Amino acid sequence: MKTFFIPLIFCFATTYFFGQQLVYKPINPAFGGDTFNYQWMLSSANAQNQFDDGDNKYSDLLKDFDSMDSFTQSLNRQLLSQLSGKLIDDKFGSSGGMTPGKYMFGSLFLDVSEASQGLVINILDTQTGEQSQIIIPR
């Protein structure tokens, strides 16, 4: 029995003598750390900053914003939308059903055809040569 208590006492003694209390102390002053660390942390953050304020192309986006210009552009978009809607109604009818064929709107050449996917509209800008394709499924 004595041989059992001696190792047990030795285990308790070693944990008592070698154990210590761990205490966390934050470094950042914003989280309760020492206020004298503020300058060091700020200089460290500035040294690691990869962004250059001189080449910031987004800083002047709102400087030239004018609500009157925005309103004018919005009004122009709405008028052009209504005008294009009227032209399409005149050309294709008020039902909106496009019949297959070839159509010319200014510099835009439209080729409307039926395909297995549905109605295919190929649009060609004759001035720039740009092409688009719109597929309207059935």
HEC secondary structure over the chain: CHHHHHHHHHHHHHHHHHCCCCCCCCCCHHHCCCHHHHHHHHHHHHHHCCCCHHHCCCCCCCCCCCHHHHHHHHHHHHHHHHHHHHHHHHHHCCCCCCCCEEEEECCEEEEEEECCCEEEEEEEECCCCCEEEEEEEC
Q: How confident is the model at residue 137 (pLDDT cuts 50, 70, 90)?
A: confident
Mean pLDDT throughout 56-60? Answer: 63
Evaluate if residue 56 carries a pLDDT over 70: no
Mean pLDDT throughout 31-39? Answer: 87
Q: How confident is the model at residue 131 (pLDDT cuts 50, 70, 90)?
A: very high
Evaluate if residue 81 carries a pLDDT over 70: yes
Mean pLDDT throughout 110-114? Answer: 88
Residue with tokens 């750390």: 33
Q: What is the pLDDT of residue 109?
A: 87
Mean pLDDT throughout 83-89? Answer: 73
Q: What is the pLDDT of residue 15?
A: 55
19 or 13, greater pLDDT: 19
